[in-house]
Amino acid sequence: MTQQKGPQFFERLDVVDALRGFALMGLFLIHAIEFFELYWLTTEPSPIHDWVFDLFAGKAFALFALCFGLSFHIIMDRAATRGIDFTKRFAWRLTVLFALGYLHGLIYRGDILTILAPLGLLLLIFNRIRSNKALLGIAAFCFLQPQMVLLTIAAIQGAPWANEPPAFWSDPTIQVFATGSFLDVIAVNLVDGNAQKVGFYWATGRVIQIIGLFLVGLVLGRIGFFRDLGRFVTQRRIALVVFAVLAVGMNQIQPALTEAIPETNGPLARAWFGMGWSNIIDISFMAVQVLIFVELWRGFGEKILGTLAPAGRMTLTLYIGQSLVFVPLYYGFGFGLWDDLTQAQAFLLGVVAFAIQLVIARLWFVHFRYGPLEWLWRVLTYTTTNVPFRRKPAT
């Protein structure tokens, strides 16, 4: 078999692109009402805050991670069908993604790429496990939040290390974003800002959660879950009911269970329990969102939901572009609007901005094959500029 060593092009799954666009929208709306993290300096709750967080917080990033695992399978599988071992190239691809994420993180430390990229290397190991049941078993273990269970038990028993407040509870870097210069923001994010972010993802159990989501995405890719939406109809609808009951039920009993956690020896026991329990609820709600999305797509919703697909094809460009526009809008070195706008106003601004991004993405793909950063990522991955950028005019 002749190996094709250059970059390859393949038919995209519109429903997956649309799901990725939906995740991008959710993540952006959260960032918008958080004033790109500066909300946490004053934390004044509002109905719009509760609504957006209930709908997207903990779900949007989880959907990104799920799609990440799915994309890994698609890339590796299509390389394998051409007789190519893409392992080293994929590791390099993740290295490039981490570098792009780190540069992005110098401006906005909330960047998620520097979390997804290194964890994505684990997929190269887990992909060697051919049993889907084994992978789902590992994923289920991750979703049960073993880290948070351990912390809760240790805190109840009074272990000092388990009752130390997590570092992200006292964040000295965030004040710099409100009052510092552009160079101050860059300087603090070189190390301290990114360290705060990594600490948050680790302390809240999200690192292990992401690994589980990667594995579920990998399995969904293997079984062709999104390739033929006419399959798995019964299984999807059963899963929808199960996850909906699980999410609502767990959400309802959480206050009572939290109150039942003793705090005599461990003041942080309830906090660790709450974080872990909330993570499971978020995963369940995310599953409900995905399953409803697919059902609507198969019905009357494809034309409406399909408007998100172009954004899903250039998430890297749009994701970083959002920070390049809104960080100067909210931060002290720019317009400093973080303490001038209400969350409702920030939400409306976010909706308008994302709508503009959808229009830009749709027009962009009339003339180009990839988003600009997606093209750059592909060029750096394959270490060649022989990657067509513009579309050929129709004849």
Query: 119-123 long-range contacts, Cβ below 8 Å, gap at least 24?
Result: 119/207, 119/210, 119/211, 119/214, 120/68, 120/72, 120/94, 120/214, 121/91, 121/94, 122/211, 122/214, 123/69, 123/72, 123/214, 123/218
d(CA 259, CA 251): 14
d(CA 165, CA 203): 10
User: Tell me, what DSSP letter sits at residue 392?
Assistant: P
- pLDDT tens string 52-88: 999 999 999 999 999 999 999 999 999 998 898 899 9
Angle at 136 between CA 131 and CA 139, to 5 degrees: 130
d(CA 126, CA 119): 11
**Average pLDDT for 269-291:** 96
Which residues lie closer than 8 Å to 146 by C-beta, 6 or more apart?
208
Two structure tokens written together for 106: 């110098």
Q: What is the pLDDT of residue 305?
A: 94
φ and ψ at 353, to 5 degrees? -65, -40
Residue ranges of E strands in the chain? none
Confidence of residue 2 (pLDDT cuts 50, 70, 90): very low
d(CA 116, CA 319): 14
- pLDDT tens string 211-224: 999 999 999 999 99
- pLDDT tens string 183-205: 999 999 999 999 999 999 999 99
Residue 300 has pLDDT above 90, yes or no: no
φ and ψ at 390, to 5 degrees? -85, 150
Residue 17 has pLDDT above 80, yes or no: yes
Q: Which amino acid is located at 188 in the chain? A: V
**Distance in Å from the first CA to the final CA of the chain:** 34
Residue 1 has pLDDT above 60, yes or no: no
Q: What is the pLDDT of residue 170?
A: 84
| DSSP codes of every residue in 58-84 | TTHHHHHHHHHHHHHHHHHHHHHHTT-
| DSSP codes of every residue in 323-337 | HHHHHHHHSTTTT-G
Secondary structure percentages of the chain, helix, strand, coil, to 5? 75, 0, 25
Confidence of residue 377 (pLDDT cuts 50, 70, 90): very high
